[in-house]
Structure 1
Amino acid sequence: MTAVDIAGTVTPTVPVRAAGRRQGLLGRLLGSKKALSGLCLLAVFATLALLAPVLAPGDPSLINSTGSQAPSGEHWLGTTTKGQDVLALTLWGARSSMFVGFTVGLVATGVAILVGLASAYFGRLVDDALTLVTNVFLLLPGLPLLVILAAFLPPGTSTVVLVLVVTGWAGSARVLRAQARSIRGKDFVAAAVVTGERPLRIMFREILPNMASVVMTTLLGCVVFGITSQAALEFLGLGDSSVVSWGTNLYWASSDGALMTGAWWAFVPSGLCIALVAFALALVNYAVDEITNPRLRSVKRPRSEKSAKGRG
């Protein structure tokens, strides 16, 4: 492609590629204080989860001390009613909870992308069929379905991931379908169809890159859903009690009467970790919205205008 400038010189113009759009979004995201704060907090939890075998070697469920000890120099976060080290349980719990959360987020978002793109691109019968399936899953009550599936399937981490993916993809698919339908009608997509590009290439090279911000927001929301829903299921006793996670830590603290006996250190660390991870993801999510939506950006006035208004 070429363009003619004012002087009449013909200069080539380079079309904007999907990689450039992604790099632009990523660069602006890394320049946001909110996003950096959220990413740094997530990095801290990810590092602690990876280093759990080094920081707290051995079986975290091992009873190695007197029960219900308050935080001290020997046990920084105290011990449970049974005598387990709360710090070890919290560190090892991060491994399971964050693994389940990010796995559910990636898989549920992947399913939502496939359903949304196929529904928007092919339309008609495909759109009707996929919309019907999506609506059925949206009409099913989420928490009761979670409880029923978790109760009848064999306990384990894979079961928890499967249950959360089955119950968590439909809402994201509807959002992505609406975004993909709006992009499907653009001229550059029609040009790609006319030139004979394959449907998969059009969906994943032309439509999907223009949905980067919505996909990222969907992914972050699914991760939060995965972490909190796993904790809720395990707190209700529907998870695998042999697996150490933040949810099982809360379950055993409740079962052992830590709240009634005033042993706050048995349940506060795991609950606080869940809240902090959700807060970090919310910061990144808000930063994405702020970058992609100009109305959410703060408008900075010049200093001269501010000083003139102050004198007035």
Structure 2
Amino acid sequence: MTTDTTDVATPRNGASPDPDDAAHVASPRALAWARRRRALADFWRTFRTHRSGLVGLVVLLLIAVLALAAPLLVGSDSRSVTEAPGKSLESPSGRFPLGTDQFGRSLLALMVWGARVSLAVGLLAAVLTVAIGTLVGVTAGHFKGWYATVIMRVTDWFLVMPTLVLAIALATVLDRSIWTTILAIGVTTWPTTARLVRAQTLSVESRPYIERARALGGGHKHVMLRHVLPNVMPLVLAQTTLVISNAILTEATLAFLGLGDPIMVSWGGLLQDARDAGAVSSGDWWYLAPPGLAIALVALAFTLCGRAIESVLNPKLGDRR
């Protein structure tokens, strides 16, 4: 009796097999990355069909580039009060396209620098918010009994309390810094994300493959990290883009109320400086309009991107072009 020594990886056309190709094909990690690349390609292909989402993405990219290139575009000395190049509250001109503030600094340069702080605070606060909300939502949906009851009652308490009031109280108690603002926003705006993630977790854990995973010996960590979390991540991603816009608005509100970092230049801080300088009563519109429009524009751009992402990840929402 002869023994078949043909390798299963040998092509049928007689060509010699490539060990590297065979190992690549047989690698589960390589297959997983291939699926992820295809999923990203499909996501981008569908996202491009949402014109409003593309407009929001382009606006965000332009503002991000300006913020990152601030030292090259306007220079670090443009924030200095002692080296201000203009007069106090000059109206827009060829030299100062957006006018000057009460110290004679170019408002255009301050707007570019302010984009850095506003975007950084919005992104970091949104990450903190979504991280807390996801942790609470997944654990509350996975573990039943007293833990879920207690954690959801705490969540309900945060929901009924005014978010801005809680953020103001926390920012008042702690030191005035950018990290205090991020912490104040993050620990007061997570309940909405927690309830959304918990509802999605309950839906995922009711599916048959979760029961099979548990029957095969999968523990709590395995079920939450390998099955539940990947299924709630699309919802978390869409929620993040929406939370960023709220975080930027909250940061601007705190800065406008004088609870932001007095050293950092932000759009909300510019509004607060304009109020202190009496720009409203004196009619210096160029001091008020640019920061307010910038805040509204960025918030709108993040909202458009978030809605487009949500529509792509959940086709049941319909076409939102």
Alpha carbons 1:22, 1:209 under 8 Å: kept: no
2:51 paired residue among 21, 27, 33: 33
TM-score by length of 1: 0.85
Structure 1 residue 290 displacement after superposition:
2.8
Alpha carbons 1:22, 1:212 under 8 Å: kept: no
Q: Match for residue 316 of structure 2?
A: 294
| 1:126-205 correspondence to structure 2 within 5 Å | 126-205=147-226
Query: Structure 2: how far apart are the matches of 1:65 and 1:175?
Result: 51
Does residue 273 of the first structure (1) align with residue 291 of the second (2)?
Answer: no
Does residue 239 of the first structure (1) align with residue 260 of the second (2)?
Answer: yes
Q: Match for residue 87 of structure 1?
A: 108
Alpha carbons 2:245, 2:300 under 8 Å: kept: no
Alpha carbons 2:141, 2:198 under 8 Å: kept: yes
Alpha carbons 2:279, 2:287 under 8 Å: kept: yes
Code of the aligned partner of 1:37:
V
Structure 1 residue 23 displacement after superposition:
5.4
Structure 1 residue 154 displacement after superposition:
0.6
Once the two structures are superposed, what CA deviation does each residue of 1:19-67 show, in whole Å capped at 9, x if it has no partner?
A: 3656543442244322221111111111111011111112314332111
Code of the aligned partner of 2:149:
D
Query: Structure 2: how far apart are the matches of 1:128 and 1:24?
Result: 39
Once the two structures are superposed, what CA deviation does each residue of 1:97-124 show, in whole Å capped at 9, x if it has no partner?
A: 0000000111110111111111111222
Alpha carbons 2:123, 2:244 under 8 Å: kept: yes
> Aligned pair in 2 of structure 1 residues 290, 234: CA closer, same or farther (>3 Å)?
same
1:75 paired residue among 79, 88, 96: 96
Does residue 217 of the first structure (1) align with residue 235 of the second (2)?
Answer: no
Query: Structure 1: how far apart are the matches of 2:59 and 2:273?
Result: 27
Q: Match for residue 9 of structure 1?
A: none
> Aligned pair in 2 of structure 1 residues 186, 144: CA closer, same or farther (>3 Å)?
same
Once the two structures are superposed, what CA deviation does each residue of 1:214-263 show, in whole Å capped at 9, x if it has no partner?
A: 21221112211210000001101111222100010000011101122221
Alpha carbons 1:289, 1:296 under 8 Å: kept: no
What SS does structure 2 have at the residue aligned with 1:271? helix
Percent identical: 33
Once the two structures are superposed, what CA deviation does each residue of 1:136-169 show, in whole Å capped at 9, x if it has no partner?
A: 2223222221221111111100100011011111
What SS does structure 1 have at the residue aligned with 2:263? coil
Alpha carbons 1:21, 1:209 under 8 Å: kept: no
Query: Structure 2: how far apart are the matches of 1:145 and 1:24?
Result: 41
Query: Structure 2: how far apart are the matches of 1:111 and 1:98?
Result: 20
Code of the aligned partner of 1:98:
L
Q: Match for residue 11 of structure 1?
A: none
Alpha carbons 1:100, 1:227 under 8 Å: kept: yes
Structure 1 residue 205 displacement after superposition:
2.5
Query: Structure 2: how far apart are the matches of 1:40 and 1:201?
Result: 39
- Larger radius of gyration, structure 1 or 2? 2
Query: Structure 2: how far apart are the matches of 1:298 and 1:247?
Result: 31
Long gaps (5+) in structure 2: 1-27
Alpha carbons 1:113, 1:173 under 8 Å: kept: yes
Query: Structure 2: how far apart are the matches of 1:163 and 1:41?
Result: 27
Query: Structure 2: how far apart are the matches of 1:217 and 1:119?
Result: 20
Query: Structure 2: how far apart are the matches of 1:247 and 1:77?
Result: 17
TM-score by length of 2: 0.83
